[in-house]
A and B are shown apart, each in its own frame.
Chain A
Amino acid sequence: MFEIDAAGIYYRDLNARIREALAKGEKEVTVRNVNGQYYIGDGLSGNATIVLEGVPGNDLAAFMDGPTIRIKSNAQDNIGNTMNAGKVIIEGNAGDVLGYGMRGGKLHILGDVGYRIGIHMKGNKKQSPTIIVGGTAGDFFGEYLAGGLLILLGLKPDGPIVGDYLGTGMHGGTIFVRGEVDKKNCGAEVGILDPDEDDMKVLKNALTEYCADLGLDIKEVMSKKFKKLVPVSSRPYGNLYAY
């Protein structure tokens, strides 16, 4: 295991050091004393694991293409921006705009998240992104969703699980919410269904890995009913225009 002390290091130098370690073939890198440095893991490829102690800054794992990053505390905004592959595990809360335009890989967040999560995620048969949030989420969860999987668990909510405009403009992908979903919180493009057997398999599959990553009990997580949100149309704005 390779260790880097990030105390007082500028992000550009820190990221250069992480890249250098990975280029040398290190498979496990622990970065201590992280304190808001931006862009950790930005554009990195390969299959190394990076463990962060301390709170990393914005745009963590942007454009990332393979590695696993475990954050042992809270994290900030823009995590997994246009990420292509790999995994980010967050053992605390995270901020706004997570997984924007994400194309593959996984974000596993134990705690709460902010606004605009999973906007315009995409997926196809070859690769598909997954974001799982253990706590609650703010407005615009899954806006413009074009593909992939968003799961919101709301494990210990002291209020509503999710904000307004849930799935607005959604035209692909699937959102699962543990508990009830009120139609009035959803965008007009969202259909609310009860998951069928196949859906439950998908859920169980995704949540088993999530629970293993974060030390949760899969039985307890699966003990409550889920709702499945899908787009009602693949062309939500098809009738908006006069040709």
Chain B
Amino acid sequence: MFKSLAPPEYLATIDREKCIRCKRCIQNCGWGVYSWGGDKIVINTSKCVKCLRCYHYCPEEAIEIVDNPTKFKNNAYWGFHNIRNIKRQAETGGIPLTGMGSDLPYTILFDNLLIDACQVTNPSIDPLREPMELRTYLGKKPSSVELEKGKDGKPRLKDRMPPQIKIEVPIIFSPMSFGSISLNAQKVLAHAARECGILMNTGEGGLHEDLLPYKDNIIVQVASGRFGVNPEYLNAGVAVEIKIGQGAKPGIGGHLPGEKIPLEVARTRMIPVGTDALSPAPQHDIYSIEDLRQLIYAIKEATNYKPVSVKIAAVHNVAAIASGIVRAGADIVYLDGFRGGTGAAPSIIRDHLGIPIEYAIAAVDDRLRQEGIRNEASIIAAGGIRSSADAAKALALGADSVAIATAALITMGCTTCGKCYTGNCSWGITTQRPELTARLDPEIYADRLVNLIHAWTHELKEILGALGINAVESLRGNRERLRGVGLDTQTLDILGVKPAGR
């Protein structure tokens, strides 16, 4: 057989002295790297993705996964992945797929923004001893309120408040569909969302009946493939999200490979087993803001006016588009930035289309304020939120809440190997193979995810305390409390942030 000229990225190695031939690595590897050769473990390193499942389950610490030292000649212009992709394309004629968010070294604005703190002239607050408000309400806010006296003599709102979704922390889980991730992974998210008083999002793969008990913490999604969308589904959650785009693949459709469509996924999505689940690039009934409005209100009519969110990828003209979305009647605008993750996207799209979320938040928040419609919708920012600091910076730039997905998956064992599209995830997350998904015990892993949200909650409170503010509402859009480091004047201007030292 012709040996691939695309060299393996990693070398899986076993210390033969330490190996006790227990074969746990063979059992654990979903990629088929290891096999039994009669007297020893045989390694096919070309299949290794460095997900480290074998390393963690080797009782003797005999396994080491190293980056392949035999790379192409160093070249500052022609990188390893440029050359390797060309070789793969020469062999297959195909579009290289990838998973997770882009890992290319574009400037990371979050890392060039620093948060203010109180010293001497204004007191900081100790969140351990003083109340700190992180509770957030997502939805349309009235531009003014009028009070009237109720029958009991107490004041009450004259007009009805638009529907609001209460979340205890401004961190929710991004949409990930049943199909792209396993049902057990969705259960982890649902369980943790309920425990933390936040939200998970079904993504576009429909709602499996096992998730119904968590419906008060679920947003259901309607995307171009309309998988699993019926009146019951629309009414199941607290809100409905129309998915227009995704940060990792702006402007292109979804493509869940047939390998990830066994019976359960096919049933939930209502498509044949083993076909590719195709989500067309556009929603075929939406070619304009007016069309979007039509779908938003079709959903509202069908759900007795539940809040509707519209998710778009952050693209060049994001501010004008977001304005249109708000005017179309959306209650929430969900912005997904360039670094946003994916279960499967062409790497050429993921790595080269869209704009980072930091710019998008600032631009959209600015535009909606200028137009006097910022209160008409909440902004959820997603696409590469790695820590509570990223979350705090996103809030300060103008988001009402952030959404996380990769960080949540990391608590389940994910090492961001980026091979989600193959359906072989050895951690049982982005796979539908029953022997692999069984590894992800929803209850055990939900605890880990709850821990993460609690830890980030504490950190957010510490950040607020240091800023001397006791409610996240005072951080929202408060760009005065951010400073840029090493950013040029124009970038600072777009972000609405002063340089450090000013």
**Which residues does chain A contribute within 8 Å of B224, judged by CB atoms?**
120
Contact of B231 among A45, A77, A119, A169 (CB under 8 A): A45
User: Which of A28-36, A194-202, A233-241 lines the interface with chain B?
Assistant: A233-241
Contact of A43 among B234, B271, B274 (CB under 8 A): B234
User: Which of B93-101, B476-484, B494-502 lines the interface with chain A?
Assistant: B93-101
Shortest Cβ distance from residue B30 to the other chain A in the assembled complex, whole angstroms? 14
Say what secondary structure dominates the interface of chain B: mixed
Contact indicator B284/A103 (Cβ below 8 Å): no
Per-residue CB contact flags for chain B residues 261-272 toward chain A (1 = under 8 Å, else 0) read 000001101111
- Using a CB-CB cutoff of 8 Å, which residues 19-58 of chain A contact chain B? 38-39, 42-43, 45, 58
List chain A positions with a Cβ less than 8 A from chain B: 12, 15, 38-39, 42-43, 45, 58-59, 62-65, 77-78, 81-82, 84, 97, 100-101, 103, 116, 119-120, 122-124, 143-144, 146-147, 169, 171-172, 234-243
Contact indicator B284/A43 (Cβ below 8 Å): no
Contact indicator B301/A39 (Cβ below 8 Å): yes
Shortest Cβ distance from residue B48 to the other chain A in the assembled complex, whole angstroms? 14
With contacts A84-B231, A123-B270, A239-B94 taken as known, whether A12 is within 8 angstroms of B284 at the C-beta atoms is: no
Residue of chain B at shortest CB distance from A84: B230
8 smallest beta-carbon distances between A and B, as pairs: A101-B226, A43-B302, A242-B94, A242-B92, A42-B301, A122-B270, A84-B230, A234-B275
Contact indicator A78/B301 (Cβ below 8 Å): no
18 extra interchain contacts, Cβ-Cβ under 8 A, other than A144-B280, A171-B272?
A39-B297, A39-B298, A43-B303, A59-B298, A63-B234, A78-B294, A84-B230, A103-B229, A120-B226, A122-B269, A144-B278, A146-B272, A172-B272, A237-B278, A241-B421, A242-B88, A242-B95, A242-B96
Contact indicator A119/B258 (Cβ below 8 Å): no
Residue of chain B at shortest CB distance from A78: B285
Contact indicator B94/A169 (Cβ below 8 Å): no
With contacts A58-B294, A242-B94 taken as known, whether A82 is within 8 angstroms of B267 at the C-beta atoms is: no
Contact of B271 among A65, A97, A172, A240 (CB under 8 A): A172
- Using a CB-CB cutoff of 8 Å, which residues 230-252 of chain B contact chain A? 230-232, 234
Number of residues in B with C-beta < 8 Å to the partner?
46
Contact of B230 among A65, A97, A119 (CB under 8 A): A65
Contact indicator A234/B274 (Cβ below 8 Å): yes
**Which residues does chain B contribute within 8 Å of A82, judged by CB atoms?**
222, 226, 229-230
- Using a CB-CB cutoff of 8 Å, which residues 285-308 of chain B contact chain A? 285, 294-295, 297-299, 301-303
Shortest Cβ distance from residue B429 to the other chain A in the assembled complex, whole angstroms? 18
**Which residues does chain A contribute within 8 Å of B127, judged by CB atoms?**
none
**Which residues does chain A contribute within 8 Å of B269, judged by CB atoms?**
122
Contact indicator A169/B285 (Cβ below 8 Å): no
Q: Tell me the complex Cα distance, A124–B93, Å.
A: 34
Contact indicator A234/B272 (Cβ below 8 Å): yes
Contact of A241 among B97, B225, B274, B303 (CB under 8 A): B97
Which of A59, A63, A143 lies at the interface centre, i.e. has the most chain B CB atoms within 10 A of its CB?
A63
**Which residues does chain B contribute within 8 Å of A234, judged by CB atoms?**
258, 272, 274-276
Query: How many A-B pairs with Cβ below 8 Å?
Result: 141
Q: Tell me the complex Cα distance, A42–B302, Å.
A: 6
Shortest Cβ distance from residue A8 to the other chain B in the assembled complex, whole angstroms? 19
**Which residues does chain B contribute within 8 Å of A243, judged by CB atoms?**
92, 94, 97, 421-422
Q: Tell me the complex Cα distance, A77–B285, Å.
A: 9
**Which residues does chain A contribute within 8 Å of B271, judged by CB atoms?**
122, 146-147, 172
**Which residues does chain A contribute within 8 Å of B91, judged by CB atoms?**
242
In the complex, whether B255 has a CB less than 8 A from a CB of chain A is yes
**Which residues does chain A contribute within 8 Å of B234, judged by CB atoms?**
43, 63
14 residue pairs A–B, Cβ–Cβ below 8 Å: A12-B301, A38-B294, A39-B297, A59-B295, A62-B301, A100-B284, A103-B229, A120-B278, A122-B271, A171-B276, A237-B278, A240-B95, A242-B88, A242-B89
Contact of B275 among A81, A119, A146 (CB under 8 A): A146
Residue of chain B at shortest CB distance from A42: B301
In the complex, whether B346 has a CB less than 8 A from a CB of chain A is yes
Shortest Cβ distance from residue A82 to the other chain B in the assembled complex, whole angstroms? 5
Shortest Cβ distance from residue B260 to the other chain A in the assembled complex, whole angstroms? 12
Contact indicator B278/A171 (Cβ below 8 Å): yes
Residue of chain A at shortest CB distance from B277: A146
